[in-house]
Each structure stands twice: as structure tokens, then as C-alpha cells.
A and B are shown apart, each in its own frame.
Chain A
Amino acid sequence: MTLLNRRQVVEHLLQPRGDLLVVAGLGAPAWDITAAGDHPLNFPMWGGMGGAIATGLGLALAQPTKRVLVITGDGELLMGLNSLATIGVSQPTNLAIVVLDNEVYGETGKQKTHTGFGVDLAAVATACGFTNSSIITDVNELASLKKEVYGSGLMFAQVKVDSKSDELVLPPRDGALLKNRFREALLGDQCHFSN
């Protein structure tokens, strides 16, 4: 069976994207969302490994009427796996988590991650209280995945992807810029005049 390609998955999820708020974990997921089209409502992380889904939780709690998608990698999620328990307890209904699982640390020499040894992230999510948790392996499943990402309810999907390194498509590196343009796009100019 041919594994899915991460860029194909992300492009499918983000084109078009409506008013979706997108957080991407550091490394390849940040390049993937940028390759699908740089956008002010993207927050690509260049650090804070292990913090992507907790950042997504904060955003989801702050903006309960908006849909939030966190796209991250298996290595990044494994570093903050405990946050699945925190999210399972919080149960935000507007948060979708998609893990692009290539079973390696792609940025550091493709050393195998724990998922490459059989750790089942979707089962962990289920055990933490995600009632909608699945493993996606087939291109024919992407349409229903997209529907759930843009639907309602807390969801988790572990998408098995190949470990090929794609062309680097880098977002801006200035964290203050990324934050400010996100806030301006979401909250309007007035966010700069009040706190």
C-alpha cells in the first residue's frame, strides 16, 4: 500500500480553509501549512516542542465559536503526550488535532520515533477521552477527514504518511510578527490599542 504524502494531506485540508484557525507544530508541519499557502490565521511554531496541542487548546478555549485545527508531527506530539489527557478533561468542542505520523524525526536524521515501534497515538487519545479518534491510511479517507476537521466536536486523527522530506517552504521566523498578524486577522486592528 502506498503511504499518503504529508503535503497532499495538508493541502487537501487547507485548500480551501474558510476561517479555520491553524496551529502547526515545529518542523515539517510548519513547512507543510506554509506550502499550502501562507495565511495570517496560521501559527507555525519554530520552537516549543511538545506544546502544539496545548497551544491549540488555549486558542480553542479563547475562541469557542471558531474551529481550531492543530497539525503536528508524531515526534512533537510524543513530547507533550500528556496534553492529550488535559484536552480530554477540558473537552473543547471546537478543536481538531491531526498528527502527520511518519514514524521518524524527519528534521534530525530520520531516527525512528516511538510510533515506529508500535505506539498507537489514536488509542492514547481514545484512552484520554477523545470519543472521535482514528487512524487514517488511505487517500479515500481524506474527504471524510476534512469533513470532520471542519465539523464540530473534539477530534483526533493520526494520519500515516511517508517519511520523504519535501521541499522546505518556510514561514516567517519572527514570533512576534506571527503572533501579531494572527491576532490582527482574528481580532481586528483594535487588538493593538487595548489589552
Chain B
Amino acid sequence: MTLENHWSNTVFNLICEQDISIVSFVPDAGLSQLIDLCVAYEGIQTVRLTSEEEGVALAMGTWLGGKKSLLLMQSSGVGNCINMLSMLNTCQVPLPMMVTMRGHWGEFNPWQVPMGQGAENVLKEMGVTTFRAQENDEVAKCAEGAIRFAFNTYRPTAVLIDQRVLGAKTFGR
């Protein structure tokens, strides 16, 4: 896949079209192109987080202030968000999240498996509507659905991007 048709470009365009002006993130290799696009664009304020739950609380504040935000993370970060997601649920706050998966197809690191396997259930239990992208061309469609769903119905949503889309980290093996 060339850089031009990478799903990151389509998702970046969606972010702009949907007037999302604040993007917060904990990095992941699979998100690096999208993060670079957001950081480079002056129409978006990017916030570097130390932990994913900060991005959930940040979204509460951006929505109180009338701005839309998006949160980018790896699936291990879902576990860090659990209690903070209560706030979005209770206050009916929209937040689309893009979650790159670990612990599934092609996983090399056993320590990634429990949270990766549990991530979708954890999100659902906390009231987050999930959309799974298992192929490259599904990512943008899921992202569009998740972003519209979040802001149209005032709730958190997550796009789970499968390792088959991202390519599994092989540690040179």
C-alpha cells in the first residue's frame, strides 16, 4: 500500500470535514501516520497524553467548551480508560476513539493478549459503541460511522483496527 491510499489520509480528511479540532493521543506504530498528519495541520490542536484516560477527561472538557475531539490509542490503553469512561456515559458526551489492536491476529507478545482480547468487551461494558475494521478499506467506513454516531447521538464510540490491517509487530522473528 502506498502512502497516498493509506487509511490515515481518509480518516484525516474525515476529521477535518467533521470539524474535529482537538486530537489527543498515546502513540502506536499503527497510528503514527495519522498522528503525523494531525500534528502537521494547524487547524487541529494535538494533545500528547501520558495515559489514555487523560484523553477521556480531556474530551469532557472540550465538549463543555463546544469543541469536538478525537482520541487515538492502542488496545492496551482501553484498560487505562475504564473508570473515566463513566463520565462520558453519565454526562452523555460524544467521543470517537480510534483503537489499534494488539493481542489478536499474528500477535508475537503474549503479554499483549489479555487486554487485546478483552478490549472490545471492556468498551461495550462501559457503554462505548464499537465498530470493527478487519480490512484496510473498512477503516475509513468504520471511522465515518463512529464519528457521526458519536456526535449525532452524544456518546463514546470506538473503531477497533485489526492487526490484519496494521500488520503484526514481529520483533524481527
Q: Are B57 and A54 in contact (CB under 8 A)?
A: yes
Out of B50, B84, B90, B93, name the residue touching A82 (CB < 8 Å). Answer: B50
Question: Which of A60, A82, A86, A183 has the most C-beta atoms of chain B within 10 angstroms of its own C-beta?
Answer: A86
Residues of A108-141 at the interface with B, using a CB-CB cut-off of 8 Å, are none
> Which among B3-11, B59-67, B98-106, B110-118 touches the partner chain?
B59-67
Closest Cβ–Cβ distance, residue B148 to chain A (whole Å): 10
Residues on the B chain within 8 Å of A56, using CB: 61
Q: Are B47 and A61 in contact (CB under 8 A)?
A: yes
Residue B120 at the chain A interface, CB threshold 8 Å: no
* Given the contacts A90-B47, A183-B66, A23 and B61 also touching, CB distance less than 8 Å: yes
Provide the main secondary structure of the chain B interface: helix
Residue B87 at the chain A interface, CB threshold 8 Å: yes
Residue B134 at the chain A interface, CB threshold 8 Å: no
A140 to B166, CA, bound (A): 59
> Which among A2-10, A145-153, A156-164, A174-182 touches the partner chain?
A174-182
A101 to B105, CA, bound (A): 48
Q: Are A60 and B61 in contact (CB under 8 A)?
A: yes
Q: Are A179 and B64 in contact (CB under 8 A)?
A: yes
Residues on the B chain within 8 Å of A80, using CB: 53-54, 57
How many of chain B's residues have a CB under 8 angstroms from any CB in A? 35
Which chain B residue lies CB-closest to A82? B50
Q: Are A61 and B62 in contact (CB under 8 A)?
A: yes
> Which among A12-20, A28-36, A45-53 touches the partner chain?
A45-53
A49 to B92, CA, bound (A): 18
Residue A191 at the chain B interface, CB threshold 8 Å: yes
Q: Are B66 and A186 in contact (CB under 8 A)?
A: yes
Residues on the A chain within 8 Å of B57, using CB: 48, 50-52, 54-55, 58, 80, 83
A90 to B54, CA, bound (A): 13
Q: Are B22 and A61 in contact (CB under 8 A)?
A: yes
Which chain B residue lies CB-closest to A187? B66
A61 to B53, CA, bound (A): 17
Q: Are B53 and A51 in contact (CB under 8 A)?
A: yes
Q: Are A48 and B87 in contact (CB under 8 A)?
A: yes
Which chain B residue lies CB-closest to A178? B91
A26 to B49, CA, bound (A): 22
Provide the main secondary structure of the chain A interface: helix
Residue A169 at the chain B interface, CB threshold 8 Å: no
A90 to B91, CA, bound (A): 25
Which chain A residue lies CB-closest to B68? A195
A54 to B56, CA, bound (A): 9
Question: Which of A47, A51, A54, A61 has the most C-beta atoms of chain B within 10 angstroms of its own C-beta?
Answer: A54
Residue A1 at the chain B interface, CB threshold 8 Å: no
Closest Cβ–Cβ distance, residue A55 to chain B (whole Å): 4
Residue B69 at the chain A interface, CB threshold 8 Å: yes
Residue B169 at the chain A interface, CB threshold 8 Å: no
A89 to B48, CA, bound (A): 8
Q: Are A51 and B87 in contact (CB under 8 A)?
A: yes
Residues on the A chain within 8 Å of B63, using CB: 58, 62, 179, 183
Q: Are B93 and A179 in contact (CB under 8 A)?
A: yes
Known contacts A54-B54, A62-B61; 15 further A-B pairs (Cβ under 8 A): A43-B64, A47-B83, A51-B56, A55-B58, A55-B64, A58-B60, A58-B64, A61-B67, A62-B22, A80-B53, A80-B54, A86-B47, A179-B92, A187-B66, A191-B66
Please provide the 9 A-B residue pairs with the shortest distance between their CB atoms, ordered closest to farther. Answer: A58-B61, A62-B65, A51-B57, A175-B91, A54-B57, A59-B61, A62-B67, A175-B90, A58-B58
